[in-house]
Amino acid sequence: MKTTKLIVGLAFSALSLTSITANAQDKFFQAVGTPYMPKVEIAFNRYYTYEGLVDNMKKIAAAHPDIAKIESIGKSYEGRDMMTLTITDFSTGPDTDKPAMWIDGNIHSNEIQGGEFALYAAWYLTEMHADNEFIQQLLKDKTFYITPTINPDARNDFFNQPNTANSPRSGMMVLDNDRDGLNGEDGMDDLDGDGHITMMIRKSPTGRFIKDPQDPRKLIMVGADKVGEYEMLGQEGTDGDGDGRVNDDGVGYYDPNRDWGWNWQPDYIQRGALRYPFTLPENRNIMEFVMKHPNIAGAQSFHNSGGMILRGPGAEEDVSTYNREDIRIYDAIASKGEEMIPGYRYLTVYKDLYSVFGGELDWFYGTRGVFTYSNELMNSYLYFHKPSQGRGQDEMFEVDELLTMGDAFVMWHEFEHPQFGTVEIGGFKKTFGRAHPGFLLEQDAHRNAAFTIYHAYHTPKLSVMDVKEEDLGGGLKAITATIFNERLMPTHASQDLKHHIERPDYVTISGAKVVAGFVVEDEDFKKFSEQKMNPEKIAVANIPGMTAVKVKWIVSSGSNYTITVDSAKGGKASWKK
């Protein structure tokens, strides 16, 4: 009797589950290009702490074990695990045998949305895999290494401690901003306890400001011949060390994007650098991971803000590093990115912004020959789909009024200040301006993820084709094979070739007795370069993008043979007779 009840119970449970699934399917209809009934539900209209990011990453790996794995690549300064997702179709080979794309975000703590954008890329790849043929083929061919936050301590500091939209940039409090010996001990004072460092004003008979009668959020400076009602006291806070400046010791400042081992300069040359390259454990963890994964051919680092697709060099002194052939590839991919992400512009760091020494972007390319972009996320164009034309805060007030319904601004309110008496505190929240408001997050995340997928797609893809045999007589025959790179990026960047960063590509024939082996330099004019040592395994310096390389063997036997290609950044390919 108990057995019968158990069977009936299980059958009822199965029927209930089927019914629930059917009912859920009745309630949804797939939108084009979006995961339908995802295994992992993630809301991309809000931000996640370090713990929230890791929780979502673990859910992705658990829900998609055949295409996603999670691991810690090291510890942060405060001991948090730096979690990385490896995403590829493991049934088609190990991740290290395929060209790979590195994606990270949030190197600066206030540049928070890089974490969500990188997470979105991981979520989209895994959730779309089951039903999308393009993603299926992409993960057969490629690997993605995704680390949403590479500054986990400072990410949480931004959320959990009082800050402005521009603070802090770093994690460890080790530097003394104003050189008064305090190293940030007096902290940033959140007088009203709302988590946002806004502004302070005070009524004054000699004030230069009045509140806009039409909009009390706004302060208007009066004319030179008039007296206002308020004086501007500056940032919310106190003068903790008596030097006359408020919150000047908010955090000890360093810049994790000045810590990388390429064209590094000390702090007295460029403010923000630490003692030596890779002083920071977070950056050192990434460096060690990348060095262990020579298959990484492309990289993307998400920053904010301004709506830019950036490439190096970071400094004019490094212009000669970026070869014209590689710049053509950078230009081709980024120009497509400008189409994919409206309002974003393709720029060069040193020429269009400022000099950066010891930056991540230059380290990836300079030391590893990896084609790397840094996208500066968020652009005011996204608000009203028109250029802001330098409207600055006027536009921010308009956005807050029309699109965020007043949620972006802390209204002026009185506070008894220990040093200034009665003041009013108010202003824009720390999560507005540089960071996307929630309603813009998912669309911009998708467009930027699509750009990184396009970049990854154009990492090398090799194939062996057009294998020909020629009878030479005397028991000898020539075998010629064409190795074709079907994508834009070469197997070796010019920087790689210049400094011999990575090993050559190898084209090997097995199952035949090889007498001689050659790289075909010009088949029409019979120009060949012979490899006398180990002729069965021919070393090819580079296989350019959208280009073929030919190799040739003279063999004395072998009717059934296999030709294989092994490239660190180009992956593997084979052909069998």
Quickly tell me which residue has 């084209």 as its tokens: 507
CA separation, residue 485 to residues 76, 95, 308, 463 (Å): 39, 19, 29, 7
| SS3 call for 531 | coil
Q: Where do the H-state alpha helices sit in 44-201? A: 50-63, 113-128, 133-141, 152-160
Farthest-apart Cα atoms in the chain, separation? 108
d(CA 486, CA 488): 7
Known catalytic residue at 376: yes
Q: In what order do the strands lie in the sheet with 215-221?
A: 215-221, 209-212, 230-235, 199-203, 421-428, 409-417
52 exposed, middle or buried (CB, 10 Å; 0-12, 13-18, 19+)?
Answer: middle
Q: Which residues contact 11 (CB under 8 A, 6 or more apart)?
A: none
Q: Find tokens 């190990």 and name the residue.
A: 94
Please tell me which residue in 116, 376, 442, 536 is annotated as part of the active site: 376
- What span, in angstroms and rounded, lies between the C-alpha atoms of 127 and 117? 15
The residues, any chain, with a CB within 8 Å of residue 304's CB and separated by 6 or more, are 110, 111, 112, 113, 114, 376, 377, 378, 434, 435
What lies within 8 Å, CB to CB, of 292 at 6+ separation is none
Which residues are tagged catalytic?
Answer: 376
